[in-house]
């Protein structure tokens, strides 16, 4: 029988966040594939887990995934762990999962810590709809792609989650201000689950002012408010003459309005009755 891939979520800071199920799986697996074996050995030693370990990271993810899939097809059970959090979220685990499905290897995910969800739930911002951008592309290596994503975020109505390292934080905050405006609200989360965990609500202007005076330390998650309905309404009122009724409707429906409410708002923007909008859509 073929083996199986177990995606095992590990703590993002506090070791007490590991689950019993993950510990049991790490102990019983035939092999643990770790993003950084030097980092992961500390976790395994802490919990006295002796399972053999191999490296699986960004620079060997394609070839090593093929090798791991071959092993699983021969009956080996593999537990995949990342440096922190849930494998497959903004790390090379997604490539291994893809190859497993192509080869018919069973995959299961053991739920546990994830920095993006932890930050979102404690942000105080809307959690119903959100988008996860992880780390923005580095300006030095992929400036064009970075600018493209920032431009997309300008129109984003959902809550936005971005990861950032301390040495790039101020630059990223300034780039976000360029497209979103300095008054855009955000919650800055730092060192999640660790001893010096902090989370504070501010604006992009406020965050920039603070970190121009204070050196950023630790790993950051930025949870940023999406474009508000008021902003969308103002844009629609200013530019509805250039939009089709369908596009005008899509503007509001994309922000979560139901169709009836969107028709009512489009009619108000255009100074006509809701019945007229209904007829135009027909």
Secondary structure percentages of the chain, helix, strand, coil, to 5: 50, 20, 35
The pLDDT, as a whole number, for residue 252 is: 80
pLDDT per residue over 156-200, tens digit each? Answer: 989 999 999 999 999 999 999 999 999 999 999 999 999 999 999
CA distance 28 to 93: 20
Query: Is residue 239 predicted with pLDDT exceeding 80?
Result: no
CA distance 83 to 46: 15
pLDDT per residue over 113-163, tens digit each? Answer: 999 999 999 999 999 899 999 999 987 778 889 999 999 998 898 999 999
CA distance 66 to 70: 6
User: Which of 92-101, 128-137, 229-238 has the least mean pLDDT?
Assistant: 229-238
User: Which of 29-43, 49-63, 127-141 has the least mean pLDDT?
Assistant: 127-141
The whole-model pTM stands at 0.82
Q: Which residues contact 258 (CB under 8 A, 6 or more apart)?
A: none
The answer to whether 6 touches 29, Cβ cutoff 8 Å, is: yes
Q: What is the mean pLDDT of the chain?
A: 92
CA distance 180 to 159: 12
The answer to whether 236 touches 176, Cβ cutoff 8 Å, is: no
How many residues does this entry show for the chain? Answer: 282
Count CB atoms within 10 A of the CB of residue 13: 20
Going by the DSSP 8-state scheme, the letter that residue 271 receives in this structure is T
Q: What is the edge-to-edge ordering of all strands in the sheet holding 4-8?
A: 53-55, 31-34, 78-81, 4-8, 106-110
Higher local confidence (pLDDT), 212 or 138:
212
Q: Kindly state the helix (H) or strand (E) to which residue 212 belongs, with its residue range.
A: helix 204-213
Query: Is residue 82 predicted with pLDDT exceeding 90?
Result: yes
The pLDDT, as a whole number, for residue 237 is: 64
The pLDDT, as a whole number, for residue 215 is: 95
Count CB atoms within 10 A of the CB of residue 104: 10
The pLDDT, as a whole number, for residue 217 is: 94
CA 256 to chain centre: 20
pLDDT per residue over 240-280, tens digit each? Answer: 666 788 888 887 887 778 888 888 888 888 888 888 888 88
């Amino acid at each position: 029988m073929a083996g199986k891939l177990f995606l095992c979520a590990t703590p993002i800071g506090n070791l007490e966040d590991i689950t019993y199920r993950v510990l049991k799986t790490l102990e019983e697996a035939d092999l643990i594939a770790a993003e950084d074996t030097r980092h992961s050995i500390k976790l395994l030693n802490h919990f006295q887990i002796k399972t053999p370990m191999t490296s699986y990271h960004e620079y060997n993810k394609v070839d090593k995934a093929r090798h791991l899939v071959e092993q699983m097809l021969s009956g080996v059970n593999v537990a995949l762990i990342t440096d922190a959090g849930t494998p497959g979220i903004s790390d090379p685990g997604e490539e291994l999962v893809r190859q497993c499905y192509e080869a018919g290897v069973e995959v299961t995910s053991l739920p546990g810590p994830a920095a993006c969800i932890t930050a979102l739930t404690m942000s105080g911002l809307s959690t119903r709809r959100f988008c996860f951008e992880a780390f923005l592309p580095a300006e030095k290596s992929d400036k064009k792609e970075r600018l493209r994503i920032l431009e997309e975020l300008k129109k984003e109505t959902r809550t936005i989650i971005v990861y950032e390292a301390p040495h790039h934080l101020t630059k990223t905050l300034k780039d976000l201000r360029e497209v979103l405006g300095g008054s855009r609200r955000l919650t800055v989360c730092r060192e999640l689950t660790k001893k010096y965990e902090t989370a504070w609500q501010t604006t992009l202007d406020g965050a920039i002012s603070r970190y121009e005076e204070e050196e950023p330390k630790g790993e950051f998650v930025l949870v940023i408010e999406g474009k508000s309905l008021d902003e969308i309404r103002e844009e629609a009122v200013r530019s509805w003459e250039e939009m089709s009724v369908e596009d005008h409707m899509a503007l509001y429906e994309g922000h979560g309005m139901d169709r009836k409410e969107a028709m009512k708002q489009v009619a108000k923007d255009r100074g006509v009755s809701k019945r007229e909008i209904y007829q135009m859509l027909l």
